[in-house]
C-alpha cells in the first residue's frame, strides 16, 4: 500500500527536489505575472458585471452612472498599485502587508491584517472558481446542475498543479492568462472600432428593459448615493489580489524588489485597460443584467428558470457574431479558465503568508516547511480543504460568496498604508541626504493618500455588505485572530518551559536508572528487548507481565525458568483482564531514591511490512505507550523486531534475523516451539 501511494504521489507531483535546487524555482517577470497577478487580471471579468447588477436595482435609467463608478475604481487601483510598489521596495523579504503592519503598528495589528488576508485568500479561491464555472455554464447551460461538482474538481486540479511547485504551476498557467489578456483586449478593440465606425455591437439583452426592484422606484439623493457607494464597493472586486505580489517578493529572481515592482506596475496597467474597455463596451452594447431574470421586461412566463449570460459572454457574442461563433467560445473558454486559474494567486499567497506566520509561531510549524517539490504543501492542502467546504456550503454561487469577499483586502490595504506612513516618518527622522529625504516625503505622501482612500472604501464596503454576508468574513477573521494569538501563547509557554537555565545540571545523568521490560510471551522479540535492556547497564532490571489469564501467566513463568533467563519476572494481577492500568500503576509505584531517578520501560514491538498487519499487531503496545508517556520520570524505549514481511519490503532475506545480513551471517533456523502454547502479543 505504501509503495502504491508513493507511485501515485510521484505520478501526480513528480520527483522530489533537493533543497539546493530552490534557486531554480525562482521566477522571471513573465512567469510571475500569471502566477501572482491572475486574480486582479481576471477580476475584470466580473467587476463590471457587479457594478451593473447593483445599478440595475434602480432600473434602466441609472446604468449610465457605471462610467463614474468605474472611474473611481480605476483611480483607486492606481493609488493601491503605487502604494504597494513602495511596500515592495521597503520590505522585500516577503510578508507584504502583514510585515509592514507588524513592524510599524505592532503585532496585534499585524495579526488583524494576517487574519483578514487568510480569509480573503480562501474567498479568492471560492469566488474565482465559482465565477469560472458560471462562464462555463453560460456556454453550456446543461451543466447547471453540476455546478458544485465542477467547482470542487477545479480546486482539486489547482491543488495538484501547485503541489508540483511554483515554477511548474507558472508554466501551466502562463498560456491561459496571456490568452485571456489577448482575447479580451482584441474584443474591446474590435467592439470600440465598430462603435467608431458607426455600427456598434448590440448585446442580446439590449432590447429588454429593467423593472426597478421594490423600494428602488423613486430614489432620493441619499438613496442614490447609497446605491452608487454599493456599486463602487462591488466594483472594487477588481482590486482583489493586488497585494499578492508584495507577499511573494522572495519568489522573484534578482533583483527581487525591482522585478516585483515592475510586475506590479504591468499588472495594474493591464487590469485597468481591460476593466475600462469592458465597462465602456458594456455600456455601448447596451448590456442589461439583473440579479432576478424576471425584472427584465419581455422575458415571459418561466423567467425565473432562464439563466442570464454573463457580461463577458454577451459582449463576446455581440462582437464576434453570435453565440455560435468561434470568437464567442474562445472568449468563454479563456475567461472560464483564467477565472479558475485566478485562484492560483491565493494558492501562492496563502501558503507564503502562512509560512511567515508559522515562522513567527502564530500558526502550526508544519506550515513553515516545504514539501517534496519545494512548495509549501501543507498550506496548499489547508487552503484547498477550506475552499471545497465553502463551495459546497454556498452551492458554488458567486452571488452568495461575493458578499464575503474584498473586506479583508481593504483591511490590509488600509493598515499597510498607515504602517508605511509611519515607516517613512521614522526614516525621515534619521535621513541626512536631501535627495533621499525628498524621495521619502513623496513616498509618504503616496501612502498617506492611499491610506485615506482605502480607509474610506473599507467603511463603504463594511456598511454596504455587512448585513448581506460580510459579517461572516468579519467573524471568521476575528476567530482566526484569536486562534493565532492562542497558538503563539502556547508556543511561548513551551519555549519558556524548555529554556536552558543550568546546562550542567540539566544535562547531568540521572542518579539511578531502573529498567523494566514488558513481557507478554517468551519469544525472539522479548529476548531482544531483554538483551538491549542489559546493554544499558541499568542499576536494577526486572521484567513484568500482566496475568490476564492465571493459567497462561503460570505457563509463562515456567517457560521463563526453562529458558534460564536471569532477570526476575514479576506477574501483575489483573482481575478485570485489563493490561494497561496494572502496568501504569506498577510503574508509578516503583520506589525512587531521588526525584531525578529514571524508570526506563523497554517495550518489544513488531515492525510489519503491510498496513493491514498493523491492525493485527501492536495494539496493546500502542495503548501502553500512550498511557506511560504521561508518567513523570519514565523513559519509553521501543525495541523493534522486524517480521519477515518488513524484511521482504526492505529487500532482505525473509528468514534472516535483524542485523544478520549486515554481519554476513547465514539465515537462522526457526527455533523449536516452546513447551506450551501461550497467548501472543496483541
User: Does residue 672 surpass a pLDDT of 90?
Assistant: no
Mean pLDDT, residues 204-225 taken together? 87
Q: What tens digit of pLDDT does each residue of 398-416 get? A: 777 877 776 778 888 899 9
Tell which phi-psi region holds residue 462, choosing left (phi > 0), alpha (psi between -120 and 50) or beta: alpha
Q: What tens digit of pLDDT does each residue of 576-621 get? A: 888 899 999 999 999 887 888 999 999 999 988 887 888 888 888 8
Buried b (16+ CB within 10 A) or exposed e, 256-287: bbebbbbbbebbbebbbbbbbbbbbbbbbbbb
Average pLDDT score, the chain: 84
The span from the first CA to the last CA of the chain, in angstroms, equals 22
CA distance 547 to 173: 65
Q: What tens digit of pLDDT does each residue of 114-136 get? A: 999 899 889 889 988 888 888 78
Query: Where residue 170 falls among pLDDT bands split at 50, 70, 90?
Result: low
Residue the block writes with cell 521463563: 560
User: Does residue 575 surpass a pLDDT of 90?
Assistant: no
Q: How many CA atoms, within 13 angstroms, populate the side-chain half-sphere of residue 288?
A: 24
CA distance 209 to 61: 10
Least confident interval from 373-377, 420-424, 564-568: 373-377
Query: Which pLDDT value is given to residue 95?
Result: 66
Query: Where residue 9 falls among pLDDT bands split at 50, 70, 90?
Result: low
Element at 271 (helix H, strand E): helix 256-285
Residues 6+ apart with CB under 8 A from 400: 394, 469
* Phi, then psi, of 635 in degrees rounded to 5: -115, 125
Query: Which pLDDT value is given to residue 241?
Result: 74
Query: Which pLDDT value is given to residue 24?
Result: 53
Mean pLDDT, residues 425-439 taken together? 84
Element at 599 (helix H, strand E): strand 598-607
Q: What tens digit of pLDDT does each residue of 360-372 get? A: 999 998 888 776 6
User: Does residue 240 surpass a pLDDT of 80?
Assistant: no
Give ∠ CA 384-28-377 in degrees, rounded to 5: 25
User: Does residue 60 surpass a pLDDT of 90?
Assistant: no
Query: Where residue 670 falls among pLDDT bands split at 50, 70, 90?
Result: very low
Q: What tens digit of pLDDT does each residue of 267-282 get? A: 999 999 999 999 999 9
Query: Which pLDDT value is given to residue 168?
Result: 56
Q: Are 602 and 616 in contact (CB under 8 A)?
A: no
Query: Which pLDDT value is given to residue 615?
Result: 84
User: Does residue 173 surpass a pLDDT of 80?
Assistant: no
Mean pLDDT, residues 16-26 taken together? 56
- Per DSSP, 470 falls in state I
Q: How many CB atoms lie within 10 A of CB 324?
A: 9
User: Does residue 392 surpass a pLDDT of 70?
Assistant: yes
Query: Where residue 473 falls among pLDDT bands split at 50, 70, 90?
Result: confident
User: Does residue 674 surpass a pLDDT of 60?
Assistant: no
Residue 342's closest CA among 244, 457, 458?
Answer: 244
**Cα 671 from chain centre:** 54
Least confident interval from 67-81, 544-558, 649-663: 649-663
Query: Which pLDDT value is given to residue 93?
Result: 75
Query: Where residue 21 falls among pLDDT bands split at 50, 70, 90?
Result: low
Buried b (16+ CB within 10 A) or exposed e, 456-485: ebbebbbebbeeebbeebbebbeebbeebe
Give ∠ CA 610-611-613 in degrees, rounded to 5: 70
CA distance 277 to 284: 10
User: Does residue 673 surpass a pLDDT of 70?
Assistant: no
User: Does residue 359 surpass a pLDDT of 70?
Assistant: yes
Q: What tens digit of pLDDT does each residue of 304-318 get? A: 777 788 899 999 999
Amino acid at each position: 500500500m505504501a509503495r502504491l501511494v508513493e507511485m501515485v504521489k510521484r505520478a501526480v507531483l513528480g520527483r522530489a527536489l533537493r533543497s539546493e535546487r530552490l534557486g531554480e524555482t525562482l521566477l522571471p517577470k513573465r512567469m510571475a505575472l500569471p502566477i501572482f497577478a491572475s486574480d486582479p487580471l481576471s477580476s475584470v471579468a466580473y467587476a463590471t458585471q457587479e457594478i451593473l447588477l447593483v445599478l440595475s436595482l434602480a432600473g434602466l435609467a441609472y446604468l449610465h452612472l457605471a462610467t463614474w463608478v468605474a472611474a473611481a475604481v480605476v483611480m483607486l487601483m492606481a493609488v493601491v498599485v503605487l502604494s504597494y510598489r513602495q511596500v515592495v521596495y521597503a520590505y522585500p523579504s516577503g510578508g507584504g502587508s502583514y510585515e509592514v503592519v507588524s513592524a510599524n503598528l505592532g503585532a496585534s495589528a499585524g495579526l488583524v491584517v494576517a487574519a483578514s488576508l487568510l480569509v480573503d485568500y480562501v474567498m479568492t479561491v471560492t469566488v474565482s472558481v465559482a465565477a469560472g464555472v458560471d462562464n462555463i455554464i453560460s456556454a453550456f447551460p446543461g451543466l447547471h446542475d453540476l455546478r458544485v461538482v465542477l467547482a470542487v474538481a477545479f480546486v482539486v486540479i489547482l491543488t495538484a498543479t501547485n503541489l508540483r511547485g511554483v515554477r511548474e504551476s507558472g508554466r501551466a498557467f502562463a498560456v491561459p492568462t496571456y490568452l485571456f489578456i489577448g482575447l479580451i483586449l482584441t474584443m474591446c478593440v474590435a467592439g470600440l472600432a465598430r462603435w467608431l465606425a458607426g455600427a456598434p455591437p448590440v448585446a442580446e439583452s439590449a432590447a429588454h428593459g429593467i423593472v426597478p426592484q421594490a423600494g428602488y422606484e423613486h430614489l432620493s439623493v441619499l438613496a442614490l448615493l447609497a446605491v452608487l457607494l454599493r456599486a463602487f464597493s462591488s466594483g472594487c472586486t477588481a482590486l482583489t489580489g493586488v497585494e499578492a505580489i508584495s507577499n511573494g517578493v522572495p519568489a522573484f529572481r534578482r533583483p527581487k524588489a525591482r522585478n516585483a515592482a515592475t510586475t506590479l506596475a504591468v499588472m495594474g496597467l493591464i487590469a485597468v485597460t481591460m476593466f475600462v474597455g469592458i465597462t465602456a463596451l458594456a455600456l455601448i452594447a447596451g448590456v442589461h443584467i439583473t440579479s432576478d431574470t424576471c425584472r427584465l421586461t419581455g422575458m415571459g412566463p418561466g423567467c425565473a428558470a432562464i439563466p442570464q449570460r454573463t457580461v463577458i459572454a454577451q459582449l463576446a457574442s455581440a462582437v464576434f457574431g453570435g453565440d455560435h461563433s468561434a470568437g464567442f467560445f474562445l472568449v468563454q473558454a479563456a475567461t472560464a479558465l483564467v477565472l479558475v486559474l485566478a485562484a492560483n494567486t491565493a494558492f501562492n499567497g496563502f501558503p507564503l503568508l502562512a509560512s511567515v506566520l508559522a515562522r513567527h509561531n502564530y500558526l502550526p510549524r508544519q506550515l513553515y516547511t516545504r514539501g517534496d517539490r519545494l512548495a509549501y504543501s501543507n498550506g496548499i492542502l489547508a487552503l484547498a480543504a477550506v475552499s471545497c467546504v465553502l463551495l459546497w456550503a454556498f452551492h458554488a454561487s458567486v452571488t452568495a460568496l461575493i458578499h464575503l469577499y474584498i473586506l479583508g483586502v481593504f483591511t490590509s490595504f488600509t493598515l499597510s498604508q498607515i504602517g508605511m506612513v509611519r515607516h517613512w516618518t521614522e526614516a525621515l527622522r534619521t535621513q541626512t541626504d536631501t535627495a533621499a529625504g525628498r524621495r521619502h516625503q513623496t513616498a509618504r505622501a503616496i501612502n498617506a493618500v492611499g491610506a485615506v482612500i482605502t480607509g474610506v472604501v473599507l467603511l463603504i464596503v463594511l456598511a454596504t455588505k455587512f448585513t448581506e454576508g460580510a459579517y461572516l468574513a468579519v467573524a471568521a477573521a476575528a476567530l482566526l485572530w484569536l486562534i493565532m494569538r492562542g497558538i503563539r501563547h502556547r508556543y511561548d509557554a513551551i519555549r519558556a518551559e524548555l529554556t536552558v537555565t543550568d546546562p550542567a545540571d540539566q544535562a547531568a545523568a540521572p542518579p539511578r536508572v531502573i529498567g523494566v521490560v514488558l513481557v507478554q510471551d517468551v519469544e525472539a522479540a522479548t529476548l531482544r528487548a531483554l538483551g538491549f535492556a542489559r546493554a544499558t547497564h541499568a542499576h536494577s532490571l526486572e521484567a513484568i507481565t500482566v496475568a490476564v489469564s492465571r493459567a497462561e501467566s503460570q505457563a509463562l513463568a515456567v517457560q521463563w525458568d526453562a529458558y534460564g533467563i536471569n532477570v526476575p519476572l514479576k506477574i501483575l494481577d489483573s482481575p478485570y483482564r485489563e493490561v494497561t492500568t496494572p502496568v501504569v500503576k506498577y510503574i508509578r509505584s516503583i520506589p525512587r531514591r531521588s526525584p531525578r531517578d529514571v524508570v526506563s520501560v523497554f517495550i518489544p514491538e513488531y515492525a510489519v511490512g503491510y498496513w493491514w498487519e498493523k491492525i493485527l499487531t501492536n495494539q496493546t503496545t500502542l495503548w501502553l505507550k500512550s498511557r506511560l508517556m504521561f508518567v513523570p520520570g519514565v523513559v519509553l524505549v521501543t525495541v523493534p523486531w522486524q517480521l519477515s514481511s518488513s524484511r521482504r519490503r526492505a529487500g532482505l532475506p525473509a528468514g534472516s534475523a535483524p542485523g544478520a545480513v549486515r554481519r554476513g551471517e547465514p539465515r537462522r533456523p526457526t527455533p523449536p516451539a516452546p513447551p506450551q502454547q501461550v497467548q501472543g502479543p496483541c
